[in-house]
Structures are given as structure tokens and as C-alpha cells.
């Protein structure tokens, strides 16, 4: 069968690659064309657009790049028409993919969505669009089944794909860091905009902890050269492409809100979650976001387990105080570790990518056998 996958961010590339591998295990004749990154290409997808051309952060940034976004959308429509997939698989990336789902529904393609847009956080009216345009929704957060059930839409919880990724990574950890001094991991994000906003503030914390090593985890989308200006402090260094090895050795972490907060938790590292956007993006977010927390860890557990610093709270004093607690308050560290254990229980279903691939294969095979494309 033929599949067309669209992922627009590094996390989508990671989960998309695992999904491609799982699909190929079930169907070694599968032809897969994709938008994503190096990992999806390595897994066997024919890469036609890299996420580096697609990732824009915040309302203002999207507006500035609107022309490029529309060109990408026109390219996708043409490419999908030419490829004629048996199923179009959309992976997260809602600003682009929900628009793509609307178009593809009208073109009578079969549409599968893997990793639901966070409609439970904002724009719940999008649920009606999803019900109309998406044939099969596969969710990775345990509370999403109940959320969609409230809107009379059946979805399938497959578990979180990061669980399997982290399990594997834990067996392959390299002893590449000096552990004679405590390590504080800094995860400033994967986009230049968020790194420029957050990393300078994170680094101002380092002089307060001369006994610690502060190691900045660089995402694949960031160049070492561009980041060299951030390494002027004696206890700060960069580490590119070794985030999991870093987390396996870290005593604490300052982490940009997003998937990295969950990765950090699954490695058992106490963390402070940071979020800071442009003024206009933040003002819009305040008016529309409907959830009590910004970190996935707190949202999944339904309580404040890890400290969150938002916008003006991302400052030297507050980060220093929060990090001191993580490093030296044993009761606080113990509470966090106990909560992390509950997190594992909620998210571990065995192999989320395999479960997703099985659902996709069953749905697509049944659709081809019994029901014509819509």
C-alpha cells in the first residue's frame, strides 16, 4: 500500500520514523512518501520536504512567513494528487495538517491523524472539523480518549511513542560526560526563535552554581557554530546530538515547554519548565489556552509536579531558586520521582508505534477491501 506522511517538527520526525519502521514490519512492500526529517528518511520514507523549511513558532512568526507556508501547502496538494496514496497520515503539526485534512477530505482521500492536535488546550471548536475530516484519530495522551468521547467522537489511545524510544535509549547510554560534578542539562528548544529567547536567561543561572556543569543540548536543527557565542562561561559547554546521553547523566534540567519536558521526565530528571514567546503570541495564548498547565508532565498527571516558569517568570532569580530546590531539596526530588513513576504507568502500553501501525493497516486494508475512498 501507499502512504503519504506529513510531519513538520523534530518530534514529528522522531515519531514518524518509528511509525514508518512499524508499518514496514507489517508490510514490507509499503511505499512511503513523507514530509519530515532525517530520521524518517533513514527509516525508509522518501523525503520530499524537510521540517527545517516548515517550523515557525508563534503567531507573529507565522504571519511573517505566510507566503512560504502557502507555497508549501500548494506543493503538498500537487504532490499528494500525483502520488495518490491509499492513506494520508498527518502527524501533529496542526496549523498545517488540519488545513491539509480539510482539503484532502474534499478530495476523497482517506485521512489518518497520528498524535492529536491539542484541541483540548485551545480551539475546542476544531473538534467538529476533526470529526468531519479525519477518518481515524490515534491519540498518545491517556486523557484524550475521554475528551473526544465528550464530543461523540471515537479515537484510539495507542500509548506514548516516547516510552519505547526512551526505553531503547536507556540501554545505549554512552559514558561521555564527567560525572564528578553535578550536571544541569539545558534544553532550550529546537527553533532559533525560542533558543534566542530562553537560552541567555538559562545561562545567567550558571554562575550561581560554580560546583555544577551546565551542558546545553543542541537540537539537530541548530548549528554548533551559531551557538558558540553562548559558551563564554567556564562551567558551560555545548553538546550536539546527544540529548539522551545528557539526560541519562543529569541531576536536574531547565527545559523549554514541549516534548522535551516529557523526555526529561521519562529519564527521571527533576526539571523546571520554561516558556517565553513574543509579546503578541503570549497575549493571544493567554486569551485562548484553556488548560491549567503548560507542561505535558503536569497535564498528564493532573497536578503540578514540575515547576513552570512562564514569560516574565523566566528570569535569573526565579530560575536560580527553582534549580536550587531541585538540586538540594531531597524531599522535593523524591516527590518528583514518585510522580514520574506514575507517569510511566500511564504512558507505557508496550509499543505505541506498533499499535498505531496495526490500527492504520487494519483501517486502510478494510477501506480498500470494503469501502471506496470518500
Asked if residue 226 and residue 111 are part of one domain, the reply reads: no
Q: With bands split at pLDDT 50, 70 and 90, how would you rate the model's confidence at 69?
A: confident
Asked if residue 314 and residue 253 are part of one domain, the reply reads: yes
Asked if residue 174 and residue 136 are part of one domain, the reply reads: no
Asked if residue 365 and residue 331 are part of one domain, the reply reads: no
- Quick one: pLDDT at residue 117? 92
Whether residue 67 has pLDDT greater than 90 = no
Asked if residue 80 and residue 63 are part of one domain, the reply reads: yes
pTM of the model: 0.85
- The phi-psi region of residue 263 (left if phi > 0; otherwise alpha if psi is between -120 and 50; otherwise beta) is alpha
352-370 and 10-26 helices cross at what angle (nearest 10)?
60
Asked if residue 173 and residue 57 are part of one domain, the reply reads: no
Asked if residue 252 and residue 125 are part of one domain, the reply reads: no
Q: With bands split at pLDDT 50, 70 and 90, how would you rate the model's confidence at 196?
A: confident
- Quick one: pLDDT at residue 278? 67
How many domains, in total, are found in the chain?
2
Asked if residue 6 and residue 139 are part of one domain, the reply reads: yes
- The phi-psi region of residue 92 (left if phi > 0; otherwise alpha if psi is between -120 and 50; otherwise beta) is left
Asked if residue 223 and residue 92 are part of one domain, the reply reads: no
Residue 20: CATH number of its domain = 3.40.50.2000
CB proximity list for 130: less than 8 A, separation 6 or greater = 98, 101, 113, 116, 117, 119, 137, 153
The range of the structural domain enclosing residue 224 comes to: 166-347
Asked if residue 66 and residue 213 are part of one domain, the reply reads: no
Amino acid at each position: 500500500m501507499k502512504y503519504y506522511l506529513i510531519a513538520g517538527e523534530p518530534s514529528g520526525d522522531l515519531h514518524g520514523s518509528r511509525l514508518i519502521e512499524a508499518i514496514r514490519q507489517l508490510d514490507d512492500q509499503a511505499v512511503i512518501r513523507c514530509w519530515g526529517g532525517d530520521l524518517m528518511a533513514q527509516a525508509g520514507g522518501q523525503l520530499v520536504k524537510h521540517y527545517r523549511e516548515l517550523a515557525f513558532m508563534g503567531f507573529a512568526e507565522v504571519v511573517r512567513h505566510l507566503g512560504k507556508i502557502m507555497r508549501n501547502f500548494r506543493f503538498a496538494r500537487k504532490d499528494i494528487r500525483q502520488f495518490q496514496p491509499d492513506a494520508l497520515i498527518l502527524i501533529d503539526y496542526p496549523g498545517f495538517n488540519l488545513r491539509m485534512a480539510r482539503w484532502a477530505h474534499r478530495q476523497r482521500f482517506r485521512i489518518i491523524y497520528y498524535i492529536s492536535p491539542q484541541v483540548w488546550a485551545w480551539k475546542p471548536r476544531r473538534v467538529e472539523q476533526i470529526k468531519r475530516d479525519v477518518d481515524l484519530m490515534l491519540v498518545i495522551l491517556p486523557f484524550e480518549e475521554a475528551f473526544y468521547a465528550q464530543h461523540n467522537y471515537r479515537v484510539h489511545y495507542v500509548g506514548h511513542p516516547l516510552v519505547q524510544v526512551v526505553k531503547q535509549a536507556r540501554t545505549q547510554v554512552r559514558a561521555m560526560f564527567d560525572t564528578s560534578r553535578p550536571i544541569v542539562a539545558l534544553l532550550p528548544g529546537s527553533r532559533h526563535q525560542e533558543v534566542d529567547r530562553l537560552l541567555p536567561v538559562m545561562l545567567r543561572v550558571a554562575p550561581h552554581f560554580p560546583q555544577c556543569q551546565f551542558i546545553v543540548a543542541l537540537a539537530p536543527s541548530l548549528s554548533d557554530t551559531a551557538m558558540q557565542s553562548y559558551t563564554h562561561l567556564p562551567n558551560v559547554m555545548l553538546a550536539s546530538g546527544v540529548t539522551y546521553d545528557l539526560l541519562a547523566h543529569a541531576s536536574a534540567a531547565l527545559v523549554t515547554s514541549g516534548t522535551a519536558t516529557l523526555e526529561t521526565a521519562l529519564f527521571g530528571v527533576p526539571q523546571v519548565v520554561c516558556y517565553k514567546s513574543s509579546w503578541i503570541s503570549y497575549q493571544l495564548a493567554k486569551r485562548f489556552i484553556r488548560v491549567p498547565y503548560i507542561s505535558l508532565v503536569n497535564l498528564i498527571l493532573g497536578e503540578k509536579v514540575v515547576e513552570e516558569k512562564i514569560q516574565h517568570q523566566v528570569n535569573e532569580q526565579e530560575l536560580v531558586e527553582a534549580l536550587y530546590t531541585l538540586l538540594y531539596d531531597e524531599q522535593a526530588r523524591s516527590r518528583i520521582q514518585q510522580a514520574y513513576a506514575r507517569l510511566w504507568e500511564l504512558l507505557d502500553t508496550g509499543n505505541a508505534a506498533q499499535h498505531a501501525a496495526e490500527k492504520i493497516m487494519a483501517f486502510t486494508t478494510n477501506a480498500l477491501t470494503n469501502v471506496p475512498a470518500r
